[in-house]
Amino acid sequence: AGPTGSPTGGTADPTPMWHPHFASYDETTETMECIYGTTYPAVWSLPSQRDAHLFDTEEGCCEAWRCRTEDAGTSGEDEGRWLQSEDGTDCVYLVLPPGMLGADFLFETKEGCCEVNDCVVLVEEAWLWNQDRTDCVFFEFEGEGVPDADFLFGTRGECCAVNNCIERDTAEPSPSVAEDTVAPSASPADTVGPAG
């Protein structure tokens, strides 16, 4: 129940103010909510208690009473850390209780986590061998990309160096590939077959 009288002893209704809501206290995060209204104890209206318990703004109340926030669990403090995913293929971000934040397997950035753990590198675009196996083509993958693989290349030149591309204008192997290619010793017409 809220106060029934004014701080000066009169019967005026209490003034709505921001104040700590002790029933919302969370032991895990050691935080609570600040609420606006007149449901605070009458004693908080006394001059000796007012500055510690009653506030004009939610921010003022939260600064004094360590409010819970939607993003990190406490006002202005980052309680999230990066750690290796359960399957070991990436690093994931989790919000953790303050007592766990110093663990040696936790990292403040994904990059720091991936330096120590094996993260899957996703590629959003790459050069790869076409279906006809005559050239390398540029491809943009949908969504977040695909895991990097040996058959994906950053440039057409890198792809063609491995896959013997045919030059686009001449239908001949590219010069670097032609030098490394041995011509067949006989054509199908030169082969000897059964007499007919």
Q: Give the pLDDT band of residue 168 (cuts 50, 70, 90).
A: low
pLDDT of residue 153: 94
Phi, psi dihedral angles at 129 (to 5 degrees) = -65, 135
**Average confidence score pLDDT of the chain:** 74
Structure tokens at 61: 């109340």
Whether 138 shows a pLDDT value over 90: the answer reads yes
* Nearest one of 98, 104, 59 to 82, comparing CA atoms: 104
pLDDT of residue 145: 81
Q: Give the pLDDT band of residue 187 (cuts 50, 70, 90).
A: very low
Residues 30-40, mean pLDDT to the nearest whole number: 86
Neighbouring-strand partners of residue 55: 18
Distances (CA, A) of 139 to 5, 126, 166: 74, 6, 18
Indicate the pTM of the whole model. Answer: 0.34
CB 86 within 8 A of CB 64: no
Residues 13-29, mean pLDDT to the nearest whole number: 83
Q: Give the pLDDT band of residue 56 (cuts 50, 70, 90).
A: very high
